């Protein structure tokens, strides 16, 4: 698969070096081809505009136009309005032109900014390819703008472009919550914090007894977005108590000159080493030579939005970090084994006291250093990039058809993983297995699933729509794959049924044990559209519940009329083999409606209505429905189903007031049981 990254940065900037290029390397290791299209601050002086970043030539970075500012950090000049407009238009055109020419499978915008954002939209629409957006900062608040309209334009793209994307990635919980508040569904937002590519050996742990104690800052010298003026102020306070300590400033930025003036004014100019920019690999030596690193912050949205590379880089070198308790920093540094010191944000004295704590306690420094190395393992790009790649899904080629059929399993309870996946083992040569799991417990479920079935494709979903919406979520991602049949099963634990486990075991075993089933239904001459477990197709009229109105609305989407006098039977519990084209019709229908939030309902939801229309779709002309023993379903329609909930037999509109009250109390009871 070919993936295009669209960036407004140059190859030497922090975000490409610390985030997008490491991710690209991991994608290439997975067999993909990645092209990174970039802008440069001195494009007219750039000789080598294209750089091949791996020996196979499958990872290429190419500068295609001028950045919105001119010159290196610390010596930049800003364009006038008309000149900036021309440069912006040209850069946007070049990004879009090169992206279209490369004919990618995926278009990835790296930061939702005007030039790469518009170029990504153009290329996406031109090629009919999905658009993805990585949001790793709050640019409208962290950048300098020469006019108000520029900030408004950046804000517009930062707020609107992610809404048009197939999925977005964020690197902080602040950004996750921000985009949720803008109306983007949680299942379209993927949290991928910043990481590190290589972990360092124990020899890089700082000496707890240095001859000259040093504090190191690595990063951009910006007062707005990186709080470096706070650092200089804190260091001046620290020097009153520790006259031998030095501050090492690695990096550059537009505020460097102002910071040097501030340092001289506070009397610490001679105690600061201004190193300038160095290659990323060389920063390890500076971290290892320091007693601690520092990430100075104020309690501002722009700093809560950042996931500082300097923190994970420092941890990887075994160097404790001192920073303010803003955004994800507390989550990163604290826990059972702390690896840094958290202080009050925006407070120079508190920051100085944090430094003093480590200077006075060599044993604590050594303990935090060892903890830092352990914590750094959680930020390995090899692992984080797998989460990043999950956003692309099947539409973009990461999921490919390897077997003739598919199985889609929804597992909400971790204790059912072994049971359900073991049942699928007899089908391992016949089906690609897709497993949907709770979004909030993705890592736990994924590890358990892959331990049993390493080839399983795992998709995290939110808790909505019972097993039906998760099924539709996978169908949407495999719609282009020409599977023959799809097995739908799930880990049902109905709180309102006394024998839910027996029901589940009976149905799953019936659907997975007959080896003659797949050859029979795969034979087109048999015209099989649906296979249900014997004894589990129930009378539609008796078990209609309160779903008639929703069923009519659903079936009208495919021009199927519902006869109330002869309501179709349906496979209770929604476990079956379904032909791919019938499944696609279900997807088409369900995508026009909204699934209700989970409230412990036992009837009258979109999921219940979809459950009851499956047979109506499957028995249209050209479709036969059979049981797993290959007999016609009409031989046994169950009118006294052992596993039906009593309330399903009565439509809400037929209940009296007392019944309605009891019905609602039952809902509340089931809901509370699910929660507690």
Residue 147, φ and ψ in degrees, nearest 5: -155, 160
- Residue pLDDT, tens place only, 90-143: 999 999 999 999 998 889 999 999 999 999 999 998 988 889 999 988 876 666
Residue 258 has pLDDT above 90, yes or no: yes
Mean pLDDT is highest, among 120-134, 300-314, 342-356, 462-476, for: 342-356
Percent of the chain with pLDDT over 70: 88
Say if CB 302 and CB 141 are below 8 A apart: yes
The region of weakest confidence among 429-438, 453-462, 577-586 is 453-462
Residue 89 has pLDDT above 50, yes or no: yes
DSSP alpha helices (H): ranges in 294-415? Answer: 301-304, 309-316, 329-333, 348-359, 362-376, 381-389
Q: What is the mean pLDDT of residues 626-653?
A: 71
pLDDT score recorded for residue 644: 62
Q: How far apart are CA 586 and CA 614, in angstroms?
A: 8
Residue 360 has pLDDT above 70, yes or no: yes
pLDDT score recorded for residue 675: 33
Question: What mean pLDDT value characterizes the chain?
Answer: 85
From residue 524, alpha-carbon distances to 220, 482, 520, 579, 600 in Å are: 64, 14, 9, 11, 41
- Residue pLDDT, tens place only, 317-334: 999 999 999 888 887 777
Say if CB 607 and CB 595 are below 8 A apart: yes
Domains of the chain, earliest start first: 2-191 (3.40.50.2000), 202-379 (3.40.50.2000), 399-491+501-657 (3.90.550)
pLDDT score recorded for residue 498: 54
Residue 207 has pLDDT above 60, yes or no: no
pLDDT category of residue 146 using cuts at 50, 70 and 90: low
- Residue pLDDT, tens place only, 230-245: 999 999 999 999 999 9
Residue 562 has pLDDT above 90, yes or no: no
pLDDT score recorded for residue 499: 64
- Output the six-digit token pair for 416: 């059912």
- DSSP annotation of 613 reads T
Percent of the chain with pLDDT over 90: 46
pLDDT score recorded for residue 335: 65
Residue entry with tokens 């031998």 = 244
- Cα 249 to chain centroid distance, Å, stands at 34
Helices (H) and strands (E) in the chain, counts: 27, 25
Residue with the bigger pLDDT between 117 and 491: it is 117
Strands in 26-103 per DSSP E: 33-40, 50-52, 59-66, 69-70, 77-78
Q: How far apart are CA 30 and CA 470, in angstroms?
A: 26
- Residue pLDDT, tens place only, 149-193: 777 888 899 999 999 998 999 998 889 999 999 988 887 899 998
Mean pLDDT is highest, among 347-361, 556-570, 635-649, for: 347-361
pLDDT score recorded for residue 272: 96
DSSP alpha helices (H): ranges in 398-456? Answer: 417-424, 442-452
Residue 275 has pLDDT above 50, yes or no: yes
pLDDT category of residue 652 using cuts at 50, 70 and 90: very low
Whole-model pTM? 0.58
pLDDT score recorded for residue 374: 87
pLDDT score recorded for residue 664: 52
pLDDT category of residue 667 using cuts at 50, 70 and 90: very low
Residue-by-residue DSSP string for 261-308: HHHHHTT-GGGEEEEE---GGGHHHHHHTSSEEEE---SSHHHHT---
pLDDT category of residue 75 using cuts at 50, 70 and 90: confident
Q: How far apart are CA 293 and CA 315, in angstroms?
A: 9
Residue 34 has pLDDT above 90, yes or no: yes
Residue 646 has pLDDT above 50, yes or no: no
pLDDT score recorded for residue 209: 55
Residue with the bigger pLDDT between 645 and 31: it is 31
CA nearest neighbour of 402 among 428, 432, 423: 432
Q: What is the mean pLDDT of residues 257-285?
A: 92
- Return all residues near 474 (Cβ < 8 A) that are at least 6 apart: 408, 434, 436, 459
Q: How far apart are CA 147 and CA 154, in angstroms?
A: 12
Residue with the bigger pLDDT between 255 and 145: it is 255
pLDDT category of residue 606 using cuts at 50, 70 and 90: confident
pLDDT score recorded for residue 598: 65
DSSP, collapsed to helix, strand or coil, labels residue 582 as helix
The β-bridge partners of 247 are 215, 272
Residue with the bigger pLDDT between 339 and 676: it is 339
């Amino acid at each position: 698969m070919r993936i295009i990254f669209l960036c407004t940065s140059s190859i030497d900037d922090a975000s490409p070096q610390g985030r997008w290029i490491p991710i690209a390397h991991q994608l290439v290791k997975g067999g993909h081809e990645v092209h990174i299209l970039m802008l440069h601050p001195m494009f007219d002086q750039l000789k080598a505009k294209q750089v091949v970043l791996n020996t196979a030539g499958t990872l290429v970075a190419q500068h295609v136009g001028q950045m919105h500012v001119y010159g290196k950090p610390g010596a930049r000049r800003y364009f006038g309005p008309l000149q900036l407009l021309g440069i912006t238009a040209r850069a946007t055109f070049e990004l879009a032109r090169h992206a279209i020419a490369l004919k990618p499978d995926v278009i990835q915008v790296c930061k939702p900014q005007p030039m790469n954002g518009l170029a990504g939209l153009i290329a996406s629409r031109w090629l009919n390819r999905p658009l993805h957006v990585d949001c790793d900062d709050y640019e409208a608040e962290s950048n300098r703008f020469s006019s108000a309209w520029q900030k408004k334009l950046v804000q517009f793209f930062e707020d609107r472009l992610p809404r048009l994307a197939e999925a977005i990635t964020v690197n902080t919980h602040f950004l996750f919550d921000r985009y949720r508040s803008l109306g983007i569904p949680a299942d379209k937002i993927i949290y991928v914090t910043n990481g590190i590519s290589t972990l360092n050996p124990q020899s890089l742990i700082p000496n707890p007894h240095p001859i000259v104690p040093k504090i190191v800052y690595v990063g951009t010298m910006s007062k707005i977005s990186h709080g470096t003026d706070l650092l200089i102020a804190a260091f001046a306070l620290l020097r009153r108590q520790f006259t031998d300590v030095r501050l090492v400033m690695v990096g550059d930025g537009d505020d460097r000159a102002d910071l040097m003036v501030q340092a001289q004014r506070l009397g610490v100019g001679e105690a600061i080493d201004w190193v300038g920019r160095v290659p990323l690999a060389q920063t390890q030596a500076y971290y290892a030579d320091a007693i601690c690193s520092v990430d100075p912050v104020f309690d501002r949205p722009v700093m809560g939005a950042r996931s500082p590379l300097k923190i994970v880089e420092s941890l990887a070198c075994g160097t404790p970090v001192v920073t303010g308790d803003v955004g994800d920093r507390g989550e990163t540094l604290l826990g059972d084994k702390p690896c840094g010191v958290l202080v009050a944000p925006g407070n120079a004295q508190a920051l100085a006291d944090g430094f003093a704590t480590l200077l006075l306690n060599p044993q604590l420094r050594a303990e935090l250093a060892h903890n830092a190395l352990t914590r750094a393992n959680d930020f390995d790009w090899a692992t984080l990039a797998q989460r990043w790649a999950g956003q692309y899904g099947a539409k973009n080629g990461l999921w490919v058809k390897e077997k003739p059929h598919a199985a889609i399993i929804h597992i909400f309870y971790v204790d059912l993983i072994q049971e359900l996946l073991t049942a699928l083992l007899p089908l391992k040569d016949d089906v690609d297995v897709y497993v949907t799991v709770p979004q909030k417990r993705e890592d736990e479920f994924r590890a358990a699933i892959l331990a049993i079935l390493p080839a399983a494709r795992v998709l995290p979903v939110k808790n909505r729509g019972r097993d039906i919406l998760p099924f539709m979520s996978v169908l949407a991602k495999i719609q282009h794959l020409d599977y023959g049949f799809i097995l739908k099963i799930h880990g049902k634990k109905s709180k309102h049924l006394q024998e839910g486990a027996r029901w589940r075991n009976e149905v799953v075993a019936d659907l997975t044990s007959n080896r003659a089933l797949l050859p029979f239904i795969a034979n087109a001459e048999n015209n099989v559209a649906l296979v249900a477990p014997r004894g589990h197709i129930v009378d539609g009229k008796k078990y209609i519940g309160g779903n008639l109105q929703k069923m009519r609305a659903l079936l009208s989407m495919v021009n199927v009329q519902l006869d109330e006098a002869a309501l179709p039977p349906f496979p209770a519990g929604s476990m079956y083999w379904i032909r791919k084209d019938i499944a696609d019709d279900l997807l088409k229908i369900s995508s026009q409606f909204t699934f209700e939030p989970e409230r412990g309902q036992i009837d009258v939801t979109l999921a219940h209505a979809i459950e009851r229309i499956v047979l109506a779709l499957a028995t249209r002309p050209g479709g036969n429905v059979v049981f797993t023993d290959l007999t016609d379903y009409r031989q046994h329609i169950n009118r006294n189903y052992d596993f039906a909930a009593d309330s399903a037999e009565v439509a809400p509109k037929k209940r009296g007031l007392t019944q309605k009250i009891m019905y609602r109390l039952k809902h509340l009871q089931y809901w509370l049981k699910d929660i507690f």
